[in-house]
Structure 1
Amino acid sequence: METRYQHYDIRLSIDSRLEQVRVLSGALRGIGKELELSDDQLGQLELMMVEAVNNVIEHAYEMRGGNDVRVRVEYTPEVIHLVISDSGRTMPDTLHSEARDMPDPEALPEGGWGMGLIHLLADSIRYIRDAKGNHLHVSKQLV
């Protein structure tokens, strides 16, 4: 079965509470099924999104509810982009650098696996801070 549309631009938003991440994850699964992504592709996208959103809630918003976490899903048959945006604290440069290795567990005071997983699964990562907030751009090739 062939997907009818060649491009999608879908925007989702949740409150900055960990219990809402599950709903966001379910929405991404629904989007992935509609776009006919493979289980492997969808699993990788879901893992990257959940790790990024959890990082926003835990670190940018310091576990405080009442803040927007926005996820944009941009799709073409060749690539899917996730853009995770927030208005919280800026991510340290060392977490979004070009390094694609998993972090050394001995060097991590707490957590730190999320960005390592994202770097391993994504084909490209870009982090931008502008007047509207923080934006983590994650791309995955589909072909």
Structure 2
Amino acid sequence: METVYKQYNIRLSIDSRFEQVRLLSGALRGIGKELELSDDKLGQLELMMVEAVNNVIEHAYEMQGGNDVRVRVEYNPEVVHLIISDSGRTMPDELHSEVKDMPDPEGLPEGGWGMGLIHLLADSIRYSNDAKGNHLHVSKQLA
């Protein structure tokens, strides 16, 4: 008999304000617990999502509230995909097209850690834009 695995496609949306990012984190933790993800994998997914959403708010929307930030969580037992979407400014090619080096910790930069952390933690990353907006696709293998 063939084993049938559940697949999920969950959509979340917040206003482009930093104080709402915590709501997304809580929602993702709840989803992860329900799907019985390990604390390690869930923590990595949460960090990638928070960094990506913070980048959207800061750079794509230039700190302006009143804009949608959308997160889609696609799950199957082998992989979790996060798709972070917005309708703001397009991300420069150099930020998503290659593996990013982490900033020098000796310099203690206030910024520049987001995409480096995402590239470090993600098993795959892809950026696209279309008529519906900008989409950052990050995946984490579970097996």
Q: Counterpart of 1:118?
A: 118
- Distance in 2, matches of 1:13 and 1:110, equals 26
The answer as to whether partners of 2:103 and 2:109 remain within 8 angstroms in 1 is: no
- Distance in 2, matches of 1:39 and 1:17, equals 27
Structure 1 residue runs of 5 or longer lacking an equivalent are none
Pairing 1:1-143 to 2, within 5 Å after superposition: 6-104=6-104, 111-143=111-143
Q: Which residue identity is paired with 2:56?
A: V
TM-score (norm 1): 0.92
CA RMSD of aligned residues (A): 1.9
Q: Give percent identity, aligned residues only.
A: 87
How many residues are aligned here?
140
Q: CA deviation at 1:28?
A: 0.2
After superposition, give the CA deviation of every residue in 1:19-46 in whole Å (9 maximum; x if it has no partner). Answer: 0000110000000000000000000000
After superposition, give the CA deviation of every residue in 1:25-84 in whole Å (9 maximum; x if it has no partner). Answer: 000000000000000000000000000000000000000000000000000000000000
- Distance in 2, matches of 1:107 and 1:85, equals 31
After superposition, give the CA deviation of every residue in 1:93-113 in whole Å (9 maximum; x if it has no partner). Answer: 111012243245699986111
- Distance in 2, matches of 1:138 and 1:48, equals 8
TM-score (norm 2): 0.92
- Distance in 2, matches of 1:58 and 1:140, equals 24
Structure 2 residue runs of 5 or longer lacking an equivalent are none
